[in-house]
Structure 1
Amino acid sequence: MAVQCWADILKSSKKTALIHDGKRKIHYLFTDGKEMAEEYDLNTDELIVRKWRSKSPLGAEGPWQIEVGEPFPTTVGTLESEVIKENCSNPVFLRKDTKTSFQWRVRNLPYPSDVYNLSVEPTERCCIIRTSNKKYFKKFNIPDLDRNLLPLDSSALSFTHANNTLIVTYKKPKEVLTLEHELLRELKKLKGTNEGDVDCKTQ
């Protein structure tokens, strides 16, 4: 998908809008068969959820993969419930963006602020969280930058720590802000319905 400009891929996708429960829900179907679903807060226009789904080699629909938002609750079945119960103190990594920044939260990290070190690895196109006490290590990429073929900038990366949660912030580059602004303007033109899906395609 990198050969074609991401903005053009978004424009050429088939979009379906649904207004429900105070959220604007958008479903994208791309020409390669991949699906993306997003949810925006109707009042603030902030992105709450972004998830992806691809078809298997045999054509079956694969599971949704969360890119932005809370991970799916896995409370089905006793075995899974026991696993969740056992690991409830393990760090939980998730992404929650703001309008101006990409943001990740790592819950259940009780260590003081001076333990954390954040760095950018341009060659691997990822960010890395390390702790000097070697208790936590996380390598993660920023799909939005990859899709737009934008470089990583270490000066855009910062963090704060409070209430056992590490909050990592990466300031969105102007190219991403411009694209998101234009996309939201287009999405607001879609005739969202409260009763079901309506096909709406923007050019």
Structure 2
Amino acid sequence: MALQSWSESLKAAQKTCLLQDGRRKVHYLFPDGKEMAEEYDAKSHELLVRKWRQKSALGANGQWNFEVGESQLQGAGTIQPDFLKESSSNPIFTRKDTKMSFQWRIRNLPYPKDVYSIAVDRNERCCIIRTTNKKYYKKFSIPDLDRCHLDLNENAISFSHANNTLIITYQKPKEILSVEDDLRKELTTMKTNTDGDVDCKTQ
């Protein structure tokens, strides 16, 4: 039922779309006031960015929170005193999906692969990264599964390590693939504009 509810929410959302710089950019406005913005590669249809925001109690727009991809400003440096700058050597956690899997990359982790372990905590509905040298620890959820009330599957997760980057892969369940396929078909048939946003059908 939750899966159907999320699918129906996507269909019912007011959408606008734009084709720009080789990307299909889609904005969703949900009945509860939440906004979601996605960017897809126009050729491969791969999801490049997904971000959310919600108005404050006073009606002001909140900041965008990235679920997939990252802000162009992230890692580019900001105008602030040197003593407030984050170290460029700190681990950087980002999500970049493929068509068949959720995928996260953690840059600036130089330790060998056998140092890491990835576990699934079904009670807390999260994945946990640990290192035997106790240099890194992180818990993260998979919002897509939470929205559809799907259980985590420890057999779906794997990881690799190369070039100081830990790559975690979680194979998408068939239910998620089905919802994404339906949405992809809808988006690719929508009228788009290269000059500005246009209303898209929301059937």
What residue in structure 2 maps to residue 198 of structure 1? Answer: 198
Cα deviation for residue 71 of structure 1 reads: 3.6
- Between the two proteins, the alignment pairs up a number of residues equal to 200
Q: Secondary structure at the match of 1:5?
A: helix
TM-score of the pair, normalised by structure 1: 0.94
Contact 2:3–2:147 (Cα < 8 Å) also in 1: no
**CA RMSD of superposed structures (Å):** 1.5
What residue in structure 2 maps to residue 99 of structure 1? Answer: 99
Alpha carbons of structure 1 residues 29 and 194: separation in structure 2 relative to 1, 3 Å: same
Alpha carbons of structure 1 residues 147 and 194: separation in structure 2 relative to 1, 3 Å: same
Cα deviation for residue 77 of structure 1 reads: 1.9
Which 4+ residue blocks in structure 1 deviate beyond 6 angstroms? Answer: none
Cα deviation for residue 3 of structure 1 reads: 9.7
Letter in 2 for 1:143: P
What residue in structure 2 maps to residue 39 of structure 1? Answer: 39
Alpha carbons of structure 1 residues 63 and 15: separation in structure 2 relative to 1, 3 Å: same
Alpha carbons of structure 1 residues 196 and 71: separation in structure 2 relative to 1, 3 Å: closer
TM-score of the pair, normalised by structure 2: 0.94
Contact 1:101–1:172 (Cα < 8 Å) also in 2: yes
Letter in 1 for 2:79: G
1:81-121 Cα offsets, whole Å, 9 max, x none, are 6544x510000000000000000000000000000000000
What residue in structure 1 maps to residue 143 of structure 2? Answer: 143
Structure 1: runs of 5+ lacking an equivalent? none
Cα deviation for residue 188 of structure 1 reads: 1.1
Cα deviation for residue 47 of structure 1 reads: 0.3
What residue in structure 1 maps to residue 26 of structure 2? Answer: 26
Cα deviation for residue 51 of structure 1 reads: 0.3
Contact 2:100–2:172 (Cα < 8 Å) also in 1: yes
Q: In 1, distance between residues paired with 2:175 and 2:4?
A: 16
Aligned-pair identity in percent equals: 61
Q: In 1, distance between residues paired with 2:27 and 2:160?
A: 33
Summarize the alignment of residues 158-197 of structure 1 with structure 2, pairs less than 5 Å apart. 158-197=158-197
Q: Secondary structure at the match of 1:78?
A: coil
Contact 1:15–1:200 (Cα < 8 Å) also in 2: yes
Structure 2: runs of 5+ lacking an equivalent? none
Cα deviation for residue 72 of structure 1 reads: 4.4
